[in-house]
Structure 1
Amino acid sequence: MFELRGAREEERDQIAKIWHTSASLPDVGPPQMPSYEVLRARVDEELASGWSVTVAVAGGEIAGFVALRPAENYLAELFVSPSHLGCGLGKRLLDHAKSVMQDGFTLFTTTKNARARRFYEREGLTLERESLHPRAGHPITYYCWNGG
């Protein structure tokens, strides 16, 4: 069973670790994956600039997180620890995003990330367009959820 709750200050290291570990899986993150240290610094930077992070906790440990920018209707990050993939946690985090941003939102994923793309499409998101990642330059696919 997972508990969803707001992230705590002392959990930033764990959030960065899940982000790095999950994004390092084949075809998930950019071809030149940033180091843990770079992502850890980004967690602080993004939280300071408006991220709202919800974590999923199982057995006292963070198993996944979703980072939102509700004012921009944007789902910035959704990552589940590799050891918790396939158990419904991603759906719970995505459903949380839908409940927070009821009028809809956008997100993007690496185009090669077939697992994420199937997941988003199965959960009612619509493929919007393909582009290049704003930082790394690799192909990404934008999805939108129109609310409901």
Structure 2
Amino acid sequence: MTPPTIRPARREEYDEIAKLWMDSWVSTGLEQASDSLLEKLCKRVPLEMESGWSLFVADDGGELAAMLALHLPNVYLDQLFVAPEYQGRSLGRTLLAFTRQHLPDEIHLRCVRENEKAWRWYEREGFVFEKEAVEPMTGRVMKHYRWKKEGTAR
């Protein structure tokens, strides 16, 4: 079985990406799927693209298996979501390796505090917890992390 191909997202895929994002987020158990959540994410994808996202997908023969949103100028991994049916297949690790190719010296990210599975995974992948802060848009407490390539100055 050939692994999914990571490639830039296409504009016509934005709604499908929003659906994948919702399905993956819902798989955390922190929110229920809803038309309003999907609508919010469908509106957010193009807005984030205008704000500087570099958006990638993991394409499995035409099926979207994951999404990855980077904000390269800010060395920021904004979103990494794997479709529920692709979770547990090391696709997240593949996307993180891809991220490190684009951001080889330092990466910042944040996770919802209640998404323990995600932030523990990032810690195992070498990210260091820096702080917690409330995200004004959602009211959720976010855990902020940073990874630095060994040997780079702090």
Q: Is TM (by shorter chain) over 0.5? A: yes
147 and 34 in structure 1: CA distance in 2 versus 1, 3 angstrom threshold: farther
Question: Which structure is higher in RCO with an 8 Å CA cutoff and minimum separation 6?
Answer: 1
Structure 1: which 5+ runs fail to align?
none
Distance in 1 (CA, whole Å) between partners of 2:105 and 2:37 is 35
Q: Which residue of 2 aligns with 1:62?
A: 64
Task: Supply the distance in 2 between the matched residues of 1:106 and 1:88 (Cα, whole angstroms).
Answer: 21
User: Structure 2 CA distance, aligned partners of 1:77 and 1:146?
Assistant: 18
User: Structure 1 residue runs of 4+, over 3 Å off?
Assistant: 26-30
Residue 141 of structure 2 corresponds to which residue in structure 1?
139
CA deviation profile, 1:85-125 (whole Å, cap 9, x unmatched) = 11010111111111101121211111111110121011111
Residue matched to 2:110 = 108
- The 2-side partners of 1:26 and 1:123 are apart by 19
Question: 1:106 is aligned with what amino acid?
Answer: H
Structure 1 position 59, deviation (Å): 2.8
Q: Give the Å deviation of 1:84.
A: 0.7
Alignment match of 1:49 (pick from 47, 51, 71)? 51
Instruction: Report the Cα offset of residue 132 of structure 1.
Output: 1.1
RMSD between aligned residues: 2.0
SS in 2 for 1:108: strand
Letter in 1 for 2:124: R
Partner of 2:89, secondary structure, is coil
Q: 1:5 aligns with which of 7, 10, 24?
A: 7
Could you tell me how far 1:34 is from its partner in structure 2?
5.8
Q: Which residue identity is paired with 2:92?
A: G
Deviation at 1:10, TM superposition (A): 1.2
TM-score normalised by the chain length of structure 1: 0.91
- SS of 1:96's equivalent in the other structure is helix
What code does the residue aligned with 1:125 have?
F
How far the C-alpha of 1:76 sits from its partner, in A, is 0.8
Query: How many residues end up aligned between the 2 structures?
Result: 147
* Kept after mapping to 2: 8 A contact 1:63/1:80: yes
The structure number with the bigger radius of gyration is: 2
Q: Decide which moves more: 21-30 or 5-14.
A: 21-30
Q: Is the 8 A contact 1:98 1:147 kept in 2?
A: no
